[in-house]
Every structure is written in structure tokens, then in C-alpha cells.
Chain A
């Protein structure tokens, strides 16, 4: 379709297709950022910086990966940042006060995260309350529980070395320990969304929930799965966060939900559902992280990253809108 709009070019059609796709534009942006910061930033290409960027992106990246299928179904999950706080606090409680071995405490925390996701899912699917409202309520509930349990002051520290390795250590001298976790999660969500029938059905639901139901898709079960995975991933992000920072407080993950949503939407997932890819989310995430880290290393103002991300977000959706009008 675009080929008809631009008939006289010498490039093979796939070049145009890639360059004009949302992911293509983001990839170009990412390369541009990298080039600029290679000149401006000190040690931008150093191994330490690459490791630091993986660390920075792991927690929000995990949330963004799980947020992608949620938004693909036309939903949203505002509660994930708060759930990180609740998971971090409960994880600390289980380990320090209930004297559970750290691995058992971590597993139990993942279970709690899944249960909290299930609570969202139940309200959304059984009572048919809009996801925005349900997760706005649990956004407040989860953070409030975390603050109540710790009286908003208790701080869990002195975690064992072995556990801190997960967030602070390196494999083979250079690969940050949370790298493989993030990679595994990315592959898992990519497989789910792009290589399974369940993934296809999520697009159908996002496109038209009613239509999907008529086509025989168990809409409630599919949506339930998506919000359950979102809760589970939020508690995984919380465990990585605790290990990374060496402490667990009620304020863990504050504001992360909006950052994750930003990465997903910048990555080309439509907020109305039915459209979006894991690759786009990863590119959106990295575009933000490289911008933040690059400005840091070139002594630029840190706030400029936020301002540029805001502007980029609007440009991205506006461009998307105009491009699709042409189709």
C-alpha cells in the first residue's frame, strides 16, 4: 500500500517496509542516540556502561514485557508499581521475620504476585469493570498494604551475598546477573504473544472482545491469564529490585507503572488494543534507557531525558496515526 504512495524509488520493497514500520523508525532513533552519545559521553562504550544499562532496564523492562499483552487486549495495569512495593515488603517479611530460606521466600513472593494479578483479573472478567478502574483501585490497595505492614518505615536489609548476586553480580566478568532473567522473560513473552494460539487470541480480543467471543475464544480465561502474568512479573521485578538495591521498602517501584506503559506505547503498541509487538517494546525501552544513560555520561541534565521521552511519545503516536491514515 505504501509502495503505491511512493512509486519511484530504487530500494527493494522490504527496505521501505522495514524503515517505515514503527520498529524500523525506533531502531533508527536508537542508532542515532548511540552515535550521538558515543561522541558526547565518557565511556559510553565501556563494558561497565553496557552492564549498567542492562541493570537500569531490567526492572522496568520486566514490567513493560508483561504490560505489552495487557495493552494488546485493550486493557491496562496501573497496579504493577504498587505490587512491586507490596511484593518487596512481603518478601522481606517472609525472609527476615518468618525465617524462610531466601529461595522459598522468593517463590512464595512470586505466588503472592500471581494471586494479586488474579484479584485484578477476577474483578475485570467476572464483574466486567474496566481495567483502568480496577487497577487504579488495586494501585492504591497494594501500596497501602505495603505501607500498613511496614508502618511505612520498616526497611529490610542485610540480605545474604548469594541473593545480592542476582542484582549486583556479573557472570563471566561482564554480563550482569539479571541479564539472563530479563532475556528469558523477553523470549517467554515473545513466544506467548507471537508464536502461540493464545497470543493470536489476545490480538483478537483487543481488536474486538465481542467478536472474539463469537469466534469461540474464551475471553475471560485469556484476560485472566494476561493480568495474572502481569502480577507474577511485577513480583519477579520486585525481587530483582530488592537484590539490585540491597533493601526492601514500601516505596519500591513507585511510578514504575507509568514508565513501563511509556516504553510499551513508544514501542508502537496501540493503547486501544489489537496492535503491538514485543520487539517494539524492547526498542522503546532501550530508546529511553540509552537516552537516560547517555545524558548522564555526557553530563547533560537528567531531566532532559524525561522531557524528550514525553515529546517522543507524542511524536510517535501522531506519526503512527498519520502513517495509518495513508494506508
Chain B
């Protein structure tokens, strides 16, 4: 049990240490307001990280989610301003996300093109299309019925955090217990073996990309309902943030290895850095530097552990 979750445990230990330091040096970090703020701002990141974990587990990557996120946020805002009821807005946004995911999935699974290049291309294409159509204009004054889904701020915040955690639990359960979930691991470990075992790897990859698109759209929705205005560049850089969280949480980029719990702890650890710096009276400008150092230390520790156990010839130059 412990050996199986070694990677998750070491990240959890790092998170525990950080919280311990904060408990001693800046106990006010654990104030309800601060914890709530951290939860609300990281819930969308968690939602996107769930999708990214599945994508990485199948040995693919999706760097276009920042652009998908931006477009979905703006479209949700525009639809809401038209006076369309919030549930319809939500459905339409998720459908748009599924469409973006399907484009990536068709190119990767259908034409067998490398996912990093495909999603690099769609990243640029979607981002520039959005910029062209909106001319960078922010969608202002979203209606009250859309803001916090009309529930008011406290209930809306609770909704955002709880819905992301429920989603995490559901997908984590499905990944372990459902045949489709096991297929994700199988395809990522060895696509050919999975095929011989009766799984259709290309369908699994396509499905995972579609799910990624839906979750990117959901993350955009959970962000859009928090603010009066929807920025057109809200999602820029989200992809690397989310990939970093998954990797720190022990999800192997070579596919087939990692858990959603690990990714969850990764999101918490990276998301806690910025407020922790503020509470420790350090300059918040060092946030990215600390995050980068954590990523490198996490993967280096993991690599050293792996070498100690056995001298695995993990492909040197592979991505």
C-alpha cells in the first residue's frame, strides 16, 4: 500500500511540511477566509488537472487547454449577457468544450499525429481566432443571475469547491473501478498490448481528449461565474500550470502511471505557494521561482528513488 503510493506520499509530505511551517510562522494562514479563497481560486485548476491527468495517463498531452478555457469563458459570458438562463449557458459551454476536444482527438487519434504538435497548433489557432473576433475586448457586466449562478457569493463559493471535489471523487472512482478507467491505464502503459486485450486505443484517446475539452470548459465556467467581467486571456498559461500540478503529483509523462489523488495534492501544493509567500511576508514575485524549484525537486526526488529501486532504463531522450 505504502510502496504503491510512494510518489503521492512524498508530495503529501512536502505539502504537510509547508503547512507545518505556516502553522508555526503564520497561523493566520489557516483563517477561514484565506482557506476559502485558496479553495475557490484553485477549484477550476483542479477540474482542468483531472482532465490533464487522464490525457497524460494515455501518454498524450494537451497544451491547448488555455485557449479552450479562454474561449469557453468568453462564450459563456456573451451567452449569459443575452439573457439565456444559466443552465442552458452551462450546457452550451460544455458542448463547445467537447467540440474543441473532439478536434484535438480526431487529429491525434484519427490521423495519428503527435499530440504535442497538434495541440500547439490548436493553442495558437483558437487563441488568435478569439483575439480576432473579440478584438481583445473584455465581456463586461455579466448579469446577476449568472454571477455565482444567482446563488450569492457564499453559496456560490461553496458550490464551486464542492462540485470540483465531487467531480474528483467520481472520476477517481471511475478510473479505478470502471472498464473505461482501466482502459486509460492500459492504453498509456502499452497501446499494442491494450489493443490485443480487446481495447480500442484510438477510441480511448479520442474520448480522453473530448473529456479534457469538457473539463476545460467546466473550469472556465467555474471561473466565469466568480467575476463581473470575462477577460479574453483568462486561460493563458493554464496548460503548463496544470501539467506541472499533475507531474508534481507523480503522474508520469510516459503514460500509464499516476493517480488523481496525486494530481489533487499537486494542485494544492502549487496553489498554496502564492498565499503562503504572502503570509510568510516574502515577496510574492518569487512565486514562479518557488513553483519551478518544487517541480524540479519533486521530479528529481522521484528519479533518484526510481534509480535506487532498480536501474530502469527510462528512455533518456523521450518526452
- Docked complex: B49-80 residues within 8 A CB-CB of A: 61
B-contacting residues, A304-318, CB 8 Å: 304-307, 309-311, 313-314, 317-318
Q: Is the CB of A144 within 8 A of B289?
A: yes
The segment from B82-90, B167-175, B239-247 found at the interface with A is B239-247
Cα A305 to Cα B132 with chains together (Å):
11
Residues of A within 8 Å of B303, CB to CB, are 127-129
Digitize A126-159: 1 where CB-to-B-CB distance is under 8 Å, 0 elsewhere: 0111111110111111111101101110000000
Contact B317 A127 (CB under 8 A): no
The answer to the question of B131 belonging to the interface, with a C-beta cut-off of 8 Å to chain A, is yes
Let me know if A206 and B317 touch, CB within 8 A.
Answer: yes
Candidates A136, A147, A205; contact of B317 at CB < 8 Å: A205
- Residue from B288, B291, B293 having most chain A Cβ neighbours under 10 A: B288
Query: Beta-carbon contacts of A23-44 to B below 8 Å, as 1s and 0s?
Result: 0000000000000000000000
Contact A76-B319, Cβ < 8 Å, known A144-B287, A147-B286, A309-B124: yes
CB < 8 Å A-B pair total: 173
Contact bitstring A283-327, B, C-beta under 8 A = 1, else 0: 000000000000000000101111101110110011001000000
Instruction: Confirm or deny: A262 has a beta carbon within 8 angstroms of a beta carbon on chain B.
Output: yes
Instruction: Give Cα distance in the complex from A302 to B92, angstroms.
Output: 29
Q: Is the CB of B296 within 8 A of A148?
A: no
Is A307's CB under 8 angstroms from B128's CB? yes
Kindly provide the distance from the CB of A272 to the nearest chain B CB, expressed in whole angstroms.
7
Instruction: Indicate if the CB atoms of A265 and B244 lie closer than 8 Å.
Output: no
- Any chain B CB within 8 A of the CB of A231? no
Contact with B along A273-291 (1 / 0, CB 8 A): 1000000000000000000
Q: For chain B, residues 301 to 319, give those with C-beta under 8 angstroms from any C-beta of chain A.
A: 303-304, 307, 313-319
Contact in complex: B121, A310 (CB < 8 Å): yes
Contact of B244 among A130, A136, A150 (CB under 8 A): A136
Expressed in whole angstroms, the Cα–Cα distance for A191 and B318 within the complex equals: 25
Determine the distance from Cα of A262 to Cα of B119 in the docked complex, in whole angstroms: 11
Question: In the complex, A208→B307 CA distance in Å?
Answer: 21
**Chain A residue at minimum C-beta to C-beta distance from B292:** A141
B125 touches A306 (CB 8 A): yes
B285 touches A314 (CB 8 A): no
- Whether the pair B114, A317 counts as a contact (CB closer than 8 A) is yes
User: Would A151 and B285 count as touching, CB distance under 8 A?
Assistant: yes
Q: Which of B120, B121, B287, B315 has the most CB of A within 10 A?
A: B121
Minimum C-beta distance from B196 to chain A (A): 23
Are the C-beta atoms of A125 and B316 separated by less than 8 Å? yes
Asked if B127 is at the interface (CB within 8 A of a chain A CB), the reply is yes
Q: Is A303 touching B131 in the complex (CB atoms < 8 A)? A: yes
**In this assembly, does B32 line the interface, its C-beta being within 8 Å of a C-beta of chain A?**
no
Task: Pick the interface stretch among B105-113, B206-214, B216-224.
Answer: B105-113
Residue B19 CB within 8 A of the other chain: no
Minimum CB–CB distance for B213 against chain A, Å: 17
Question: In the bound complex, what is the Cα–Cα distance between A321 and B108 (angstroms)?
Answer: 12
Interface status of B20 (Cβ within 8 A of chain A): no
**Contact status A147-B288, CB under 8 Å:** yes
Interface centre among A136, A142, A262, A301 (most CB of B within 10 A): A136
Q: Cα distance A223–B240 when bound, in Å?
A: 24
Q: Quick check: is B164 within 8 A (CB to CB) of the other chain?
A: no
State whether A139 and B292 are in contact (beta carbons under 8 Å apart), knowing that A132-B253, A258-B120, A310-B124 are contacts in the complex. Answer: yes
Q: Note all chain B residues with C-beta closer than 8 A to A130.
A: 253-254, 314-315, 318-319
> Is there contact, CB below 8 Å, between A133 and B299?
yes
- Pair B111/A321 contact, Cβ less than 8 Å: yes
| B315 and A209 contacting across the interface, CB-CB below 8 Å | yes
B158 within 8 Å of A by Cβ? no
A contact residues around B253 at 8 Å (CB)? 130, 132-133
Whole-angstrom distance between the Cβ of A92 and the nearest chain B Cβ: 16
Q: Determine if B122 is an interface residue (Cβ-Cβ < 8 Å).
A: yes
* Contact A139 to B120, CB < 8 A, known contacts A205-B317, A306-B127, A306-B128: no
Q: Flag whether B117 is at the interface (Cβ < 8 A).
A: yes
Q: Is A166 an interface residue (CB 8 A)?
A: no
Report if B230 contacts A (CB, 8 A).
no
Residue in A127, A137, A272 whose Cβ sees the most chain B Cβ within 10 Å: A137
Q: List 20 A-B contacts (CB under 8 A).
A: A124-B316, A128-B307, A132-B116, A137-B296, A138-B296, A139-B292, A140-B289, A141-B289, A141-B293, A143-B288, A147-B286, A152-B285, A209-B318, A210-B316, A265-B117, A310-B121, A310-B123, A310-B128, A313-B120, A314-B107
- In the complex, given contacts A136-B240, A136-B244, what are 18 additional A-B residue pairs having Cβ atoms less than 8 angstroms apart? A73-B317, A74-B319, A76-B116, A128-B314, A133-B253, A140-B240, A141-B288, A141-B291, A141-B292, A144-B285, A144-B287, A147-B287, A147-B289, A148-B285, A209-B318, A272-B114, A313-B117, A317-B118
Q: List residues of chain A with CB under 8 Å of any chain B CB.
A: 73-76, 78, 123-125, 127-134, 136-145, 147-148, 150-152, 205-206, 209-210, 219, 223, 258, 261-262, 265, 271-273, 301, 303-307, 309-311, 313-314, 317-318, 321
| B contacts, CB < 8 Å to A | 61, 107, 111-114, 116-118, 120-125, 127-129, 131-132, 240, 243-244, 247, 253-254, 283, 285-293, 295-296, 299-300, 303-304, 307, 313-319
User: Closest 8 interchain pairs by CB?
Assistant: A141-B292, A144-B289, A144-B288, A306-B128, A310-B125, A140-B292, A137-B295, A303-B132
